[in-house]
Amino acid sequence: MNEIMIEARGLTKSFGDLEVLRGIDLDIRRNEITAITGASGAGKTTLLQILGTLHSPDAGQLRIGDQHIESLKGSELAAFRNQRIGFIFQFHRLLPEFSALENVLMPAWISGQDGSLEKARAERLLKDLGMGDRMHHAPNKLSGGEQQRVAAARALMNQPDVVLADEPTGNLDSGNADSLFNLFEELRDREGQTFVVVTHNNAMAKRGNRTLHMADGQFVAS
């Protein structure tokens, strides 16, 4: 049985009077792809943001690998996030003044890595996602689907332990969605990465190692 990569206990989160997460308990196993499904407003994105340390829960505990997240503050938390977690957001959040390749390289640059190995990895990721002939274009010269593929490559750049993806295939046609998920599977198998994928795409969800369903801020039977 794979070891637990992410362990959450009793996570709650409210925004004003709106209770978004209601006592979430979750174990995510290392080297697996876990899909999370559910209707809009179920709490999926909020959960992903807490798992990625972008937001803090109102209550509960979170462990990623051997690190208890509540013990990290400020720059320590930011460094942990950059090194250990990759994000594929629902909206691309590319930096407009940089090329596609430079956007992918950004996590490495933030970590102080700016060599030929990093550039080669960034180029390979973009080529794997069908962006080999577009890597020197600025984001505003790319389609929405192309920008999403750049964002996916950026998330994978630092070989993070955990990749959190919020509707990563939402702007992709079926062929490019397949290519992205193929890359997830390859990295899971080759590099031992762990993926948590929020998706409305049932075909993609079925390709994961397991699927969890959310409703009203809780996990429920699907």
The answer on pLDDT for 1 being more than 80 is: no
Q: What pLDDT shows up at residue 73?
A: 86
Average pLDDT for residues 52-64, to the nearest whole number? 94
Distance between CA atoms of residues 97 and 177, nearest Å: 27
3-class secondary-structure state, position 27: strand
Among 211, 198, 210, 215, residue whose Cα is nearest residue 89: 198
Domain boundaries, the chain: 4-220
Q: What pLDDT shows up at residue 96?
A: 92
CATH class of 4-220: alpha beta
Q: What pLDDT shows up at residue 100?
A: 96
Q: Report residue 34's pLDDT band, with 50, 70 and 90 as the boundaries.
A: very high
Q: What pLDDT shows up at residue 59?
A: 95
Tens-place pLDDT, residues 138-177: 999 998 888 888 988 998 888 889 999 998 888 788 888 8
Q: What pLDDT shows up at residue 156?
A: 86
Average pLDDT for residues 178-186, to the nearest whole number? 86
Q: Report residue 2's pLDDT band, with 50, 70 and 90 as the boundaries.
A: low
Q: What pLDDT shows up at residue 183?
A: 83
87 neighbors 123 (Cβ within 8 angstroms): no
The answer on pLDDT for 190 being more than 90 is: no
The mean pLDDT of the chain is 90
Residues 6+ apart with CB under 8 A from 121: 157
Q: What pLDDT shows up at residue 222?
A: 63
Among 155, 29, 31, residue whose Cα is nearest residue 104: 155
